[in-house]
Amino acid sequence: MKIKSNMISGIIVTLILSIISKFLAHFLPFLGAEGIAMLLGILLGNTLLKQQLFAPGMRWAEKYPIEIGIALMGLTVTLRTIEQLKLHGILFILLQMTLTIVVVLWLGGRIFKVSRKSAMLMGAGNAVCGSSAIASVSPAIGATDDQRRTAVATVSITGVVLLLLLPVVGPYLVGHNNILLGALVGGVVQSVGQVVGTAALINPTVVTYATLFKMLRIILLTVVVIIFSRMSQKQQANTTTISPKGIKIPWFIIAFVLLLIVNSFIALPHTVTSGAKDISSFFGIVNLAGIGLNLKINTIKKAGGKFLAYGLVTGLIQVILAVILIRILF
């Protein structure tokens, strides 16, 4: 995580882009700051900012701030979230996440023929919390930078599509019940910012319910990281004669769990929890800006329409699964 002198210019550029994206999000709420940061990053990273001078800092900004952001997310949720959702809400999220992961892994292996690690990243990103989940799972399974960037770009685009569609079609799918709309949005949409943005386009009450459902998905992030780490190590053991050395849990996931426990049992000042939320949110924007700046056109062309189709089909199936589960459980 050490910052070297040759990284400073790239870090500054990424931070400036993140601040601009956060400002522009007020005028383009349907894209959100994260979506704007990624799109501007791709544009600038392949034109004005493609010089090698910026590359080390942009790679640093892409990788490390999000780790701190994920750790601080532990201060934005508590175990009381589980109590507020009640049994049917908890069961809904557990089934929705499990089925999403199973379907995404199946689609990746059988239909779209992507690598196992790419499918795992797509499963985590769609089932849990977008780029933050991908950043958490990536080191645990040993994914490459290109696999991580492609997955983040795909999941983010899917989230933007859902942000535009769910406020329109949601009431037709589950009715005008705010709890059910909150379950649909909070159980399907990828990143926290996209969940809030989607729900806000419906009404403020849906924002409250959607956030609760989303928070439970975030609480389960650690479980998903452990499961994918075990799956990756088991696969590695089957293809090599060397036995895997335990489960690799990134430091920031451990910090996330510890901070969640602290926040659940100790009444922390509002300035601490709100500050953690703001920092975590901004570092999420920095992550998407860095990914966009580092995502080269050749990588996008290589992934092509296959990954885009993979993401959109996944989003559609997530919505269908959520509607079915909502009708059964609520």
Q: pTM of the entire structure?
A: 0.81
Task: State the residue for tokens 């983010």.
Answer: 156
**What's the whole-number mean pLDDT along residues 162-185?**
93
What phi and psi, each to the nearest 5 degrees, are found at residue 296?
-85, 155
Round to whole Å and give the CA distance between 299 and 113: 17
**What's the whole-number mean pLDDT along residues 250-266?**
88
31 and 39 Cβ atoms separated by less than 8 Å = yes
Structure tokens at 197: 């943005």
Q: What is the pLDDT of residues 294-318, one digit of tens each?
A: 878 877 776 668 898 999 999 999 9
List CB contacts of 328: < 8 A, sequence separation 6 or more. none
187 and 93 Cβ atoms separated by less than 8 Å = yes
Task: State the residue for tokens 């790239």.
Answer: 10
Q: Where are the domains of the chain?
A: 5-329
List CB contacts of 264: < 8 A, sequence separation 6 or more. 78, 79, 80
Structure tokens at 172: 């037709």
pLDDT at 120 over 90: yes
pLDDT at 56 over 70: yes
Round to whole Å and give the CA distance between 214 and 218: 6
Q: What is the mean pLDDT of the chain?
A: 88
Round to whole Å and give the CA distance between 140 and 248: 5
149 and 291 Cβ atoms separated by less than 8 Å = yes
What phi and psi, each to the nearest 5 degrees, are found at residue 4?
-100, 165
Confidence band, pLDDT 50/70/90 cuts, at residue 245: low
Angle value at C-alpha 220, between 83 and 193, nearest 5 degrees: 90
* Distance in Å from the first CA to the final CA of the chain: 46
160 and 31 Cβ atoms separated by less than 8 Å = yes
Structure tokens at 139: 């080191």
Q: What is the pLDDT of residues 10-52, one digit of tens each?
A: 999 999 999 999 999 999 887 788 889 988 998 999 999 888 8
pLDDT number for residue 240: 52
